[in-house]
Amino acid sequence: MVDGLTTDIQVVSDARLKSLQNNQIISGYKNLVVVQDPTDPTTVDVTVTFKPMFSLLYISVTFTVTTTL
C-alpha cells in the first residue's frame, strides 16, 4: 500500500514546496526524495534540501502521518 502512496506524497510535497517558494518563505529547494523506509515498510521518508529566506543556524522538521489516533 505504501508503494502506491510514494508518488502521491512526492507530488504533494513538490507542490507544497513550490507554494512556499512562491510565497517567499523559502528561496528554493532541490533533491526532493520520497522513499519507503527500509526498516519500517509502513513509513515513508521524505528528504529535501531547501534554502530559507533568512539566515538560520539550524532547522529540524519531523512529520508523522498516521491512519489512527
Q: What residues does each domain of the chain span?
A: 2-52
Query: What confidence category does residue 16 fall into, taking pLDDT thresholds of 50, 70 and 90?
Result: very high
Confidence bin at 3 (pLDDT 50/70/90): low
Q: To which residue does cell 489512527 refer? A: 68
Cα separations (Å) of 48 from 1, 32, 51? 23, 4, 10
Q: How many residues does the chain have?
A: 69
pLDDT at 22: 96
Q: How much is the pTM?
A: 0.74
Confidence of residue 10 (pLDDT cuts 50, 70, 90): very high
Q: Convert the pLDDT of each residue in 18-58 to its tens digit.
A: 999 999 988 999 999 998 888 888 888 888 888 888 877 67
The residue type at 51: K
Q: How many CB atoms lie within 10 A of CB 57?
A: 4
Nearest to 48 by CA among 38, 33, 27: 33
